[in-house]
Amino acid sequence: MAPNVNLHAAKNAKKDEFYTQLVDIENELRHYKDHFIDQVVYCNCDDPRVSNFFRFFSKQFEFYELKKLITTCYKNQQPDLFSSHDSERAVYLEYEGDQDGNNRPDTDEIDVKPLQENGSFRSAECIELLKQADIVVTNPPFSKFREYITQLMEYDKKFLIIGPMNAITYKEVFPLIKENRIWMGMGSVKRFEVREGNEKSEFDESTGKWYQKFGNICWFTNLSHKKRNEKLILYKRYSPEEYPHYDNYDAIEVGKVKEIPKNWGGAMGVPITFLDKYNPKQFEIIRFRKGDDGKDLSINGKCPYFRIIIRNKQI
């Protein structure tokens, strides 16, 4: 079964629980260390009993020179996608680093406090905790990704979160990308841990755990990183035979990111995977998906998959 079919199936079921692997968190976070010095980190979609985000930040607290770590646990018997929300009571935890010199977070160093509401990121209590935070790092419910990202922007928070690549097509998200207010992170996430095996999961004997693969899952952030400033090397040259024009917009079709012509200074439509290579100093994002007639971009009456219209700023 195709990975994106697995994602839609899980999204519909909503009883499955998926956990971000520690290795994926480690691989991404290592690119942002300087951003975290003396910062309050908030993980607001994480049950610390099973969350690798809590595990990572509590153990790496001194290395990242954090000021405080806050996590919230959501009380709900119907967990949202990609979150463990089955606690009997909503609580939040605060950790301010190792106090006894043993270089590990002990239970007496972690302050556990009850929440009066259900612990949802939308609740008044959790919004008050959000206001205290400098950077939000978590894997939010994919089914509420639009609302989640909107809240982060409303409260002007720095963040590093996991989401579906197709989220860039959301009307709430693409304008933010176009305005360079959010962008893609360094890497992607290929699989998540599941508590119990099913027909879509596979067992890894090396870890003794079940995993399920998904396609097009990536990191979204507004923290700067080195890949965002890397120049995309172009090697192909434009020819009218290889790069047809759209019927309803003055731009050429580029089927693959690696085939962006180096000598074309006009508008061009590229796949959404371009955003993984997007350098705002090199390219300008013009629009998404639609032509001048308000309809999907087309070539000889046929519409390619979602396209982002860009222009090379350096020609």
Residue given tokens 């200074």 in the structure block: 265
> Is residue 312 within a helix (H) or strand (E), and if so which, with residue range?
strand 307-312
Burial class for 132, CB neighbours closer than 10 Å (0-12, 13-18, 19+):
exposed
* Residue 169: closest CA among 298, 6, 308: 308
Among candidates 64, 62, 79, 150, which has minimal Cα distance to 119?
Answer: 79
Query: What letter would DSSP give residue 26?
Result: H
Mean per-residue pLDDT over the chain, rounded: 87
* pLDDT recorded at residue 75: 62
| Residues in a beta bridge with 269 | 253, 309
Average confidence (pLDDT) over 191-197: 80
Structural tokens at position 162: 């996991």
Residue 80 has pLDDT above 90, yes or no: no
Return the sign of the alpha-carbon dihedral for residues 254, 227, 180, 223: positive
pLDDT tens for residues 247-304?
999 999 999 999 999 999 999 999 999 999 999 999 999 999 999 999 999 999 999 8
CA atoms within 13 A on the CB side of 293: 8
pLDDT band at 131 (very low <50, low <70, confident <90, very high): very high
Closest CA to 255 of 247, 240, 244, 266: 244
Tokens of 239: 């020819």
Question: Alpha carbon of 139 to those of 108, 162, 220: distances in Å?
Answer: 27, 5, 10
d(CA 311, CA 185): 22
Please state the pTM of the whole predicted model. Answer: 0.86
- How many CB atoms neighbour CB 78 within 10 A? 8
pLDDT digits (tens, 9 = 90+) for 3-42: 444 444 444 444 446 789 999 999 999 999 999 999 999 9
Alpha-carbon separation of residue 299 from 277, 302, 307 (angstroms): 25, 5, 12
At 155, list the tokens. Answer: 């409260």
Report the percentage of the chain scoring pLDDT > 90: 66
